[in-house]
Structure 1
Amino acid sequence: MPRLLSADLVVPDRLHLAESPLWDDRTGVLRWVDILAGHVHGWDPATGERTHFDAGLPVGAIALRASGGLVLAVADGFAVLDGERLTRIADLDSADGQLRMNDAVCDPEGRLLAGTMAYSHEAGRGSLYRLDADHSVHTVLPAVTISNGLDWSPDGATAYYADSPTREVRAYRYRDGALLDPEPFAAFTDGVPDGVTVDAEGGIWVAVAFAGRVHRYLPDGTLDTVVRVPATMTTSCAFGGPGLDTLYITTATENLSPADLAAQPAAGGLFACEPGIRGRRAHRFAG
């Protein structure tokens, strides 16, 4: 039987679609986005200080840059953020505004992998892209529907990726920025896989949207831990804190009915759990 844990509310926001939690170990700040609002949030758990940046367009995800600041997967491309200065570095075909960025994360070599989806959720309209350090863009996987969680095993040889409507996380052999030889890793009948993070021991944590849970799987696929969250739209998770021993979990109010919203007053907030396992420092974008 998997061990059962619970997450506590630490930032009582009421965000529409909070995603992409990211621990910035340079500043001791947790950052995350509200995708459609185009907002990048920051919170210092030591002081409670909050920061807020309005990008002026949807922001699917954020990652750290090796040279400082952040790289953003924005509505139809990529940008870098230095302080309050946003600079566009690459564009994508948004199909006349029908597509947007969703989740994104850096690989161990400093490349950013980011996926798109249709606003209509139409099947197969999205792709998974790779942004290299020279700002060139390459297609990694075509014909995905809702590109979501992605992270790597500690040795970088295996990538875990979720196209949410498939209801499974797949394991890929990872070589030279390519996802190869997919194999089923974890399947879901209750909820769909959303954000993914891998801890220092190689455990794979999956936020299960529509279910109010985060699952931890061992590398052999065994369900090891279930974290209960009092908000059904659990969207993503990441380790943070000075010891990288706190699991932070983002949630959303999207897809909740008025009755759901009344029953889930903490939905859209940021949650935390201390599972007794450490995470890893976030990979940095090299460009």
Structure 2
Amino acid sequence: MAVQRSEPVSIVQLGAPLGEGPVWVERDAALWFVDIKSYRIYRLDPETNAIQSWQTPGQCGFVLPCADGGLIAGLQSGLARFDPTTGAFVPLVDPEPQHPGNRLNDGTVDPHGRLWFGTMDDGETAESGTIYRLGADGRCVASTPSCAITNGPAFSPDGRTIYHVDTGKGLIYACSVDEDGTLSDARLFAQIPNSEGHPDGPTVDAEGCIWVGLYNGWGVRRYSPKGELLEQIRFPVSAITKVAFGGPERKTLYATTASKHLSAAERAEQPHAGDLFAFEVDVPGIPGVEIRHGI
């Protein structure tokens, strides 16, 4: 049964080259997201529609909350603490000093409070990216095979399954997660032909269904935990990069989008490309978790 309750509408007009990383931060009831190519972090207060922004010292793929009240940003140079009161960034760890052409692209926090994030080739061709887990000792543990463009990961509600994306090849994988964070039983969850769009950032709802944005696919898909396509929501723009649940009941789906791939003519046909969108659903998202390990 369809869970979509309203059509996606543009709620913040940014025209971002590469909007990404939406995350609902429970403690301040706000949506945080980034524009990777414009070096910006944004915070939206849905109650007032007030939006704040900060310059980043390089490309930033995500910003996520810590249990100590701070924020962690995923920069091209690695993980860094971000203080929105001063706009300062303090470097923590570079997971890949051997890959200067890579950048951090997407991230999430598992139910245990562990940070997981992916890297990718900024040129989008070399298979030099992987998914990492930030260990309790502050070291980054490579956890998946390499690919050119990683996205995700996302976790099942019980934290026992991780989903990660090879965007270039149109593949979504699932793995079992052991108590210590080790991954096993890697398997193909879903495959999307390039003609239907490229799977981008995923998230999971309270029923364990996987939502994924489609880059050049004009929409967002919802899959069952068994990999069955349940629903596709059509957007008025072609590149949806990631969705995140928010709002007091977590029944608003926010979606970042991109415009960097469009020609001038296509940009004129998609005036809301790069904006932040929102629509309502019947099934809520999972409560957010703050980072508690390795920071």
> TM-score, normalization: structure 2?
0.92
Letter in 1 for 2:201: G
Equivalent residue number for residue 258 of structure 2: 252
Paired letter, 2:200: D
How many angstroms does 1:158 deviate by? 0.8
Which amino acid in structure 2 is aligned with residue 269 of structure 1?
D
Question: Residue by residue, what CA displacement relative to the aligned partner does 1:4-50 show, whole Å, maximum 9, x if unpaired?
Answer: 76311111111110000010111111110011222110111110111
| Structure showing the higher strand proportion among its residues | 1
The CA deviation string for residues 172-192 of structure 1, in whole angstroms up to 9 with x for no partner, is 111222332221212112101
Q: Contact (CA 8 Å) 2:117, 2:152: kept in 1 or not?
A: no
CA distance 1:221–1:96, change in 2 (3 Å): closer
- Cα contact 2:117–2:153 (8 A) shared by 1: no
Partners of 1:108 and 1:156 within 8 A in 2: yes
Q: Compute the displacement of 1:145 (Å).
A: 1.2
Q: What's 1:213 paired with?
A: 219
Paired amino acid for 2:157: P
| Residue among 226, 229, 232 paired with 1:226 | 232
Match of 2:134 among 131, 134, 154: 131
Q: RMSD value over aligned CA atoms?
A: 1.6
3-state DSSP of counterpart to 2:278: strand
Return the alpha-carbon distance in structure 2 between the equivalents of residues 270 and 115 of structure 1. Answer: 22
Shift of 1:89: 0.9
* 8 Å CA contact 2:164, 2:174 repeated in 1: yes
- Between the two proteins, the alignment pairs up a number of residues equal to 287
> Secondary structure of 1:141's partner?
coil
The structural deviation recorded for 1:97 is 3.2
Match of 1:285, SS?
coil
Which residue, out of 170, 177, 182, partners 1:167? 170
| Counterpart-to-counterpart distance in 2, 1:238 and 1:269 | 15
Give me the TM-score of the superposition, normalised by structure 1: 0.95
Which amino acid counterpart does residue 56 of structure 2 have in structure 1?
A
Give the Cα separation in 2 of the matches to 1:271 and 1:225: 18
Contact 2:108 2:116 (C-alpha < 8 Å) held by counterparts: yes
Structure 2: gaps of 5 or more residues: none
What CA distance in whole angstroms lies between the structure 1 residues aligned with 2:191 and 2:7?
Answer: 22
Q: Give the SS at the match of 1:143.
A: coil
* Residue 204 in structure 1 maps to residue 204 in structure 2: no
- Unaligned 5+ segments in structure 1 are none
Match of 1:79 in 2: 80
SS of the equivalent of 2:64 reads: strand
Percent identical: 37
Superposed counterparts of 1:121-200, under 5 Å = 121-175=124-178, 176-189=180-193, 190-200=196-206
Residues 3 and 246 from structure 1, CA distance in 2 versus in 1: closer, same or farther, beyond 3 angstroms?
Answer: closer
